[in-house]
Amino acid sequence: MSPGHYLVLSALLFTIGGVGVLVRRNAIVVFMCVELMLNATNLAFVSFARMHGNLDGQLIAFFVMVVAAAEVVVGLAIIMTIFRTRRSSSVDDANLLKY
């Protein structure tokens, strides 16, 4: 099993996440797609670390995990406040601010 396979998987996951971000309309689902992108990044980091035989990639993967968790908490809290005032979590309904 060469690192190449993992990289292909990582690129696929990243693309799925990216497409999901663009086409889905529910803020929570958009958010899950972002998490998918971040995890794809982690997979890439770890496989590159394996390829190069140094630990920098694994190190940043830890930080990405923690950053992602912090983002989850802040993001869900924001979605929560929106839901409380609006009873909807669709990004299309967020329309108070216009050009």
Partner 1 sequence: MIQSIDYAAIAPPLIVAVAAIALLLADAFGASRRVLGLVSLGAVGAALVTVIALALGDRRATFCLTGDLRGNGPPSCSYVTDDFTLIFQGVVLAAALVVVLLSLEEITAAGARLPAGEFHFLLLAAIAGALTLVAARDLVLLVVALETLSLPVFALVALRRYDGVASEAALKLFLVSVISTAVMLFGISLLYGVTGAMHLDRVAPALGRVPGDLEPVAAVGVVMVLAGFAFKVAAVPFHFWAPDVYQGAPLPVTAFLSVVSKAAGFAGLTIVVALGLPAYGHVWGPVLGVLAAVTMTLGNLVALRQRSAIRLLAWSSIAQSGYMLAPLAVGDERLPEAVAATVAYVAIYSVMNIGAFAVVIGFRRRAGAPAAGPAPSWDTLDDYRGLARRNPATAAAMAFFLICLAGLPPGVMGLFAKIVVFRATVAGGATWLAVVMAVNTVIALYYYLAWAARLFAAPSGAAEPPRMPRGAAVRAAIGAAAAGAVVLSVAPQLVLQAAAAIT
Partner 2 sequence: MDDYFGSYLVVVVLLLLGCGIVGGGLAANRLLRPHRLTEEKLTTYECGVDPVGEGWAQSYVRYYVFAYLYVVFAVDAVFLFPWATVFAAPGFGTTTLVEMFVFLGFLFTGLVYAGRKGVLSWV
Cα 81 to Cα 61: distance, rounded to the nearest angstrom: 30
* Residue 73 in contact with partner 2, rule: CB under 8 A: yes
Cα 99 to Cα 86: distance, rounded to the nearest angstrom: 21
- With vertex at residue 88, the alpha carbon angle to CA 40 and CA 20, rounded to the nearest 5 degrees, is 25
Tokens of 28: 């929570």
* Residue 66 in contact with partner 2, rule: CB under 8 A: yes
* Residue 19 in contact with partner 1, rule: CB under 8 A: no
What DSSP designation does 90 have? B
Could you say which of 43, 60, 72, 91 contacts partner 2 (CB under 8 A)?
72
Give which of partner 2, partner 1, none residue 13 binds (C-beta under 5 to 8 Å, depending on kind). Answer: none
Residues that bind partner 2 (CB under 8 A): 1, 62, 65-66, 68-70, 72-73, 76-77, 80
